Structure 1
Amino acid sequence: MLYEDRVDALVAPKGALEMLSQDEISRMSDDSGSLHSLFRSCALAILNCGSDSDDANAVMEEFKDFDIRIVQQERGVKLQLKNAPASAFVDGKMITSVREMLFSVLRDIIFTYHEYNLARGLDSASSDKITNVVFELLRNANVFRRIQSPDMVVCWGGHSIVRNEYNYTKRVGHQLGLRDLNICTGCGPGAMKGPMKGAAIAHAKQRVHTGVYLGLTEPGIIAAESPNPIVNKLVIMPDIEKRLEAFVRTGHGIIVFPGGAGTAEEILYILGILLHPKNANVPFPLIFTGPKESADYFEQIHAFIGDVLGKEAQEKYQIIIEDEVAVARAMKQGLEDVRHYRKAHQDAFYYNWKLHIPEEFQHPFEPTHDKVRGLNLHFGQETHLLAADLRRAFSSIVAGNVKAQGVAYIKEFGPFEIHGDKLLLEKLDALLQAFVTQQRMKLPGSEYIPCYKVVTE
């Protein structure tokens, strides 16, 4: 130990990658290469698990002396850590869950960028190819299980939620766990942690020893939303679009808790998919829920969806307020419908092959001022296409809020400008202002400086 909050350590793998080729080690060890930088930042996020900061740059600055190296030994590889956060250790020994996730990071970065070279290989790929790549990334992470009935519930919601909302997510997770259901989230704090915590307690009560707490993240957001310690399967997808596809391919139903721009992005993503004509008859239970204090929040979301996407979109979900038992029962029934449909259509339980995801929802959207300004936020187009560009607008705000690259971009060039139909933008601006007022854009106590400007003139 160098000083009070830093540790040097040599760590052996647990639960993931054990052997690497010389070429892989060389790529990951090149200080000037992007892979080493990516691995370092993701590893620091894992080691900083439990941090109360959502400022990726602040974390990197605080631990700017941190470094991580791959050490090749006769019996496999180890990781040499220098100036690592002491919170990842107990009495000089790394916490087991942290060690597992640390090697999951190494596994996913190598498999994604070395084997697939996704940065260049999928720019113009077909929809089917992208879906198969998502499958292979998840399979490599040992996500898939042989199950007799659909049981994976995806829980979406904000990392910046108040205490009563967080407690409610735990109660919902508890009711899901009592019914032997598993949890998948974005793996961070807040509404991503609460359901897992509740389900873990319920699984202990039911003597379920195989509970799955699947966390899906991506490099641009992991430092701002470090994985919570309950996650026992972590997968780092290469970008937000493949992360979102992984949610809907592996999950059998979705519960949405209160959140901010990121949650709105997720809602528009799933609604855009469900609104596509090819998915008209595909069952996918979708529930919006929160405590009674969050009723106004969901009224705002519901009204926005109705005003912008129409009644058909509103019919794709149900809203249940302050009733965790009703939520769990409704989800359990919805999963029965999924089971019958998958059996009738000979579709796998572990991966939703039948769901059609248009390419507009699959190809990465890297926000720039020109791209954001050029989004087609106008009425008079197919609803799922409008949902796709609304999703990109919220994705841009997330990038400007918490992703290190996006934050730096906004700092240099100023806020994104969002253009479109005046009425649509007025509805959008009102929703975003509500998020700001309710402190849903940043963790409580942080001053929020908007990274966007809605141009309604």
Structure 2
Amino acid sequence: MEQTTTRSATVNARISPAASGLDVLSRREVARLRDAGAGGLHELLRRCALAVLTQGSLSDDARALLDRYTDFDIQILQQDRGVKLELKNAPADAFVDGHMIRGVNELLFAVVRDIVYVATQIEAERFDLSDSAGMTSLVFEILRNARVLRPNVDPNLVVCWGGHSIGRAEYDYTKRVGYELGLRALDICTGCGPGAMKGPMKGATIAHAKERRRSNRYIGITEPGIIAAESPNPIVNNLVIMPDIEKRLEAFVRIGHAIIVFPGGVGTAEEILYLLGILLHPANANIPFPLIFTGPRESAAYFEQIDRFLRLALGDEAAKRYTIIVDDPREVARHVRKGIERVRLSRLENQDAFFFNWALQIEREFQVPFKPTHEAMAALNLQRDQLPHRLAADLRRAFSGIVAGNVKEEGMRAIEKDGPFEIDGDRGIMQALDALLASFVAQQRMKLPGSRYVPCYRIHSGNGAVSP
């Protein structure tokens, strides 16, 4: 690193990649990354890079982070010896004694890698994005380019979902579960942020160290709209930025061999509905996919409420696809280990890859990016007179819109301009949804503790509003 000037909280620096993975860029790619215009990639690069440089930030407000570092800038330097990044007014916490922390360096260049790759591949029209198979191929290629797909390795990747805003008891529990997973030689994949996304990784690192296990994977999968609200935690050693939430969710279920859900808020509910919507599709009825809901004893009521909502909205058949285990990290890990063995045998029998679940059928309604405008939210079909997996798809979109209104810059601006999103549907489902969301607010699962939450939604049920 060639450091130039420093001031109280920021640093100007030139950074070379600390590891292989992004050695050269074409002139056209460099030009796109420098382009600050409407069709350029510079603002996207700036926002994602700033999120990486502020690892450990306690804010979940994407705009607050940008406002705090209004003069931050990043530029690509193409030189004879390879790529360098020029940082201006970068957060000083990313540096130690004049050098950028290695983990931050690696994730920063991963940002450049993924932004460039996704843009060039889509612009080249390499994939038919009007086709479900084309969508899946794009997800596969992004993951392969990020080097997170490992052949010749038995299934061992556990995806952990849960809230970024959780209490201390819940956070400590996620670490205990991660520890038990690590003792069983299992790797961890999360949404890369704090809270339930960090805890399992932290627990697993201790177990992996005790077992003297090397080449551990702590994969963080995010997307541009949410990365600033959920900056990558320091344990992530493989960062992947997918182009949108739908491809992020598909990446989780394609590479994961089991999924554990810890307590969370609307983002976690969105993830649950996405996966259950896929698993409830008749074509996926016989595909094993371990799914466990778990938390400490203090969280038992949380999962009871989630279970009630899912049974009411999607029926008891949905409940057959998940197992609830309360306050028993060791049993969670054992259940996951047994489930992954069933996955391994199924993949062998069906000659499916261990590193990517090609057999799972995911329809376009789960793949097409949902733009949470006021019109789109009001048009969601949340009635019972449809197949459960299709209802799950629109319920997922409803939660996705609330996530956008809570923490995504575009969604927050839409709420400020036009007021709360209007959500309407079957009265029973709407009442259950209102109760679920109200409990999230009461338990501070919508915002980080200490932040006042102002609802970005208003729920109706045909005859009038259920929630104010």
The normalised TM-score by structure 1 is 0.98
- Contact map agreement 1:217 1:237 (CA 8 A) in 2: yes
- Partner residue, 1:75: 81
- Of 150, 175, 200, the residue aligned with 2:180 is 175
Residues 63-84 of structure 1 show CA distances to partners (whole Å, capped at 9, x for unaligned) of 0010001111111110000000
Output the amino acid matched with 2:75.
R
Matched, 1:9 2:21: no
- Partner residue, 2:347: 342
Q: Superposition RMSD on alpha carbons, in Å? A: 1.2
1:277 CA drift (Å) = 0.1
- Of 88, 93, 101, the residue aligned with 1:87 is 93
- Partner residue, 1:199: 204
**Secondary structure, counterpart of 1:428 in structure 2:** helix
Instruction: Provide the identity percentage.
Output: 61
Structure 2, unmatched stretches of 5+, are: none
- Partner residue, 2:42: 36
- Contact map agreement 1:123 1:363 (CA 8 A) in 2: no
Cα distance in 2 between the residues matched to 1:419 and 1:95: 48
The aligned runs of 1:359-370 (5 Å cut-off) are: 359-370=364-375
Structure 1, unmatched stretches of 5+, are: none
**Secondary structure, counterpart of 2:226 in structure 1:** helix
Cα distance in 1 between the residues matched to 2:169 and 2:53: 28
1:30 CA drift (Å) = 1.4
**Secondary structure, counterpart of 1:132 in structure 2:** helix
Output the amino acid matched with 2:15.
V
Residues 333-374 of structure 1 show CA distances to partners (whole Å, capped at 9, x for unaligned) of 000000000000000000000001111101000111111000
Q: Provide the aligned length of Structure 1 versus Structure 2.
A: 456
- Partner residue, 1:285: 290
- Contact map agreement 2:129 2:135 (CA 8 A) in 1: no
Cα distance in 1 between the residues matched to 2:69 and 2:75: 16
Cα distance in 1 between the residues matched to 2:126 and 2:9: 41
The aligned runs of 1:35-184 (5 Å cut-off) are: 35-117=41-123, 125-184=130-189
1:384 CA drift (Å) = 0.0
Output the amino acid matched with 1:168.
Y
Cα distance in 1 between the residues matched to 2:23 and 2:143: 18
Residues 219-278 of structure 1 show CA distances to partners (whole Å, capped at 9, x for unaligned) of 000000000010000000000000000000000000000000000000000000000000
Cα distance in 2 between the residues matched to 1:311 and 1:348: 31
- Partner residue, 1:451: 456
Output the amino acid matched with 2:382.
L
Residues 102-154 of structure 1 show CA distances to partners (whole Å, capped at 9, x for unaligned) of 00000000000122239x88785211111111000100000111244210000
Matched, 1:321 2:311: no
1:4 CA drift (Å) = 1.2
The 1:63–1:256 alpha-carbon spacing in structure 2 relative to 1, beyond 3 Å, is: same
Cα distance in 1 between the residues matched to 2:253 and 2:339: 15
The 1:362–1:122 alpha-carbon spacing in structure 2 relative to 1, beyond 3 Å, is: farther
Point out 4+ residue stretches in structure 1 off by more than 4 angstroms.
Answer: 120-124
1:206 CA drift (Å) = 0.4
Cα distance in 1 between the residues matched to 2:190 and 2:50: 20
**Secondary structure, counterpart of 1:249 in structure 2:** helix
- Contact map agreement 2:128 2:134 (CA 8 A) in 1: no
Output the amino acid matched with 1:404.
E
The 1:171–1:370 alpha-carbon spacing in structure 2 relative to 1, beyond 3 Å, is: same
Residues 135-177 of structure 1 show CA distances to partners (whole Å, capped at 9, x for unaligned) of 0010000011124421000000000000000000000000000
Cα distance in 1 between the residues matched to 2:127 and 2:146: 20
Cα distance in 2 between the residues matched to 1:382 and 1:288: 24
Matched, 1:301 2:311: no
